[in-house]
């Protein structure tokens, strides 16, 4: 009986990838962030992959894979499926290598992202919009590969892609002036974490590599816990750059052995981090790009005096998502609350609610009347933003005392999803 051998990228193959990428990718800065360093009493460095031409690290793996194709494979063309960063990396690689490609994207993909892909690929790519989800686009792209004998460029579960992403590890080790104690790396399908962790296990074995997933899409965490790949039935897609239902078989085996831990971070905490980086550091990141930094709080007791690297994976953030990011951040901070409020059918009831029930720092951010439940009361869905989480219970007490309280909606996901 033969035992399958786990693939690990070799240092030689990663160095070869690095040579291929020299004229294509930027050696991005490893820059110290003073604010986070002071906050956690350690040295926090950001590896700024958000500063690549395509605004993410994905160009590394895509170009390394595509530059490794045979002449026949290159002539036949390539196919990929993506709603974001991978598509842009593949598109630019198509133009640089003069390989024709078809990029399948879900129909609801924001037009800004579609235009970016077209801009990077120029005449060498065709964008096909199909289905409602990434899974729909993926299935359609695989059918084209089989029908036309084209090469599929996988976003993470491919040896050459993993080796391309691993070049980030070479750069970090070369740039660091002191031993690195921790590296926090975002995990979606696991390509980046696989490459990076292998490099560090070889060249800096005492460094702890911590994989970070969004709480709503813990595909690698679940797989490692169960010691087998699991396809999650339902995932939260907000952190779109790291939200996958199923990790790769190659990436699973590598991450299972190489990562010192895989942790999850709530989407609301990620949103808080996005806003902090923008408001205090003038850094724009996408949700997946904030994952590694958002995880620092979970390790605050272990970081004092240490040298810590957070991989900032990308900055392709759609500006139209800003209201949702603010909303999720406030909810996570326990500062935004939704209620069903019963207003008695009498003059001055609304004024009484505003003047007598709400505190001086409470703001109404949402107000929507619904149909009457009886003759005595009108009903409204009301969203309130508080100054402090401590203000919530006194507010509820006053609502009940004055017979305004109907229900609290934050902890009722079936209703709450229609408000956020």
| Residue extent(s) of CATH 3.40.50.1100 domains in the chain | 15-57+161-326, 59-152
What is the token pair recorded at 118?
A: 């077209």
Domain 15-57+161-326 has CATH 3.40.50.300: no
Give one DSSP letter per residue of 253-317, joined into a string: HHHHHH-SEEEEE-HHHHHHHHHHHHHHH-----HHHHHHHHGGGGGTTT-TT-EEEEEE-B---
> Could you tell me which of 104, 113, 29 has the C-alpha nearest to residue 317?
113
Report how far residue 51's alpha carbon sits from residue 289's, in angstroms, rounded to the nearest whole number: 11
Q: Is 334-416 a CATH 3.30.70.260 domain?
A: yes
Average pLDDT over residues 363-374: 80
Total-model pTM: 0.92
**pLDDT exceeds 50 at position 3:** no
Q: Are 195 and 171 in contact (CB under 8 A)?
A: no
Task: Give pLDDT, residue 126.
Answer: 96
Which one is the CATH code of 59-152: 3.40.640.10, 3.40.50.1100, 3.30.1330.30, 1.10.3720.10? 3.40.50.1100
Mapped onto helix, strand or coil, the DSSP state of residue 292 is helix
- Catalytic residue, from 68, 219, 313, 315: name it: 313
Active site residue 68: no
| Angle of the 11-21 helix axis to the 191-203 helix axis, nearest 10 | 120
Residue 58: active-site member: yes
pLDDT in tens, 121-140: 999 999 999 988 777 888 99
pLDDT category, 375, cuts 50, 70, 90?
low
pLDDT, position 237: 87
The span from the CA of 409 to the CA of 361, in Å, is 21
Domain boundaries for CATH 3.30.70.260 within the chain = 334-416
> Residue 167: pLDDT above 90?
yes
Residue 166 in this model has a pLDDT that exceeds 70: yes
Q: 2 falls in which pLDDT band (50, 70, 90)? A: very low
Stated as kind and residue range, the H or E segment containing 338 is strand 336-344
- Catalytic residue, from 18, 47, 56, 58: name it: 58
């Amino acid at each position: 009986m033969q035992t399958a051998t786990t693939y690990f990228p070799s240092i030689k193959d990663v160095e070869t990838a690095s040579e291929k990428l020299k004229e294509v990718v930027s050696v991005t800065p490893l820059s110290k962030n003073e604010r986070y360093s002071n906050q956690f009493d350690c040295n926090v460095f950001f590896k700024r992959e958000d500063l690549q031409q395509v605004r993410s690290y994905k160009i590394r793996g895509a170009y390394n894979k595509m530059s490794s194709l045979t002449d026949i494979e290159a002539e036949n063309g390539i196919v990929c499926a993506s709603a974001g960063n991978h598509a842009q990396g593949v598109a630019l690689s198509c133009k640089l290598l003069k390989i024709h490609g078809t990029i399948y994207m879900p129909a609801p993909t924001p037009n800004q992202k579609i235009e970016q892909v077209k801009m990077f690929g120029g005449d060498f790519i065709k964008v096909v919009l199909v289905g409602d989800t990434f899974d729909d686009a993926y299935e359609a792209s695989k059918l084209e590969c089989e029908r036309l004998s084209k090469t599929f460029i996988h976003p993470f579960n491919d040896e050459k892609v993993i080796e391309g992403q691993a070049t980030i590890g070479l750069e970090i080790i070369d740039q660091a002036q002191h031993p690195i104690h921790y590296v926090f790396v975002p995990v979606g399908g696991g390509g980046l974490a696989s490459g990076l962790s292998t490099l560090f296990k070889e060249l800096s074995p005492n460094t702890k590599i911590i994989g970070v997933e969004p709480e709503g899409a813990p595909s690698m965490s679940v797989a490692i816990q169960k010691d087998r790949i699991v396809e999650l039935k339902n995932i939260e897609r907000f952190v779109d750059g790291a939200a996958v239902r199923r990790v790769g078989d190659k990436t699973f085996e590598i991450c299972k052995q190489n990562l010192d831990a895989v942790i999850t971070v709530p989407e609301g905490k990620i949103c808080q981090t996005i806003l902090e980086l923008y408001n205090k550091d003038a850094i724009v990141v996408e949700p997946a790009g904030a994952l590694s930094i958002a995880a620092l709080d979970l390790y605050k007791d272990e970081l004092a005096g240490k040298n810590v690297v957070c991989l900032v994976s990308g900055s392709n953030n759609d500006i139209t998502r800003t209201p949702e990011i603010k909303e999720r951040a406030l909810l996570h901070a326990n500062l935004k609350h939704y209620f069903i409020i019963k207003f008695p059918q009498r003059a001055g009831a609304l004024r009484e609610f505003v003047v007598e029930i709400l505190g001086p720092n409470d703001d109404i951010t949402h107000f929507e009347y619904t149909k009457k439940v009886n003759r005595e009361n009108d009903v409204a869905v009301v969203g309130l933003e508080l100054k402090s989480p401590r203000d919530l219970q006194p507010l509820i007490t006053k609502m009940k005392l004055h017979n305004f309280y109907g229900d609290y909606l934050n902890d009722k996901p079936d209703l709450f999803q229609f408000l956020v």
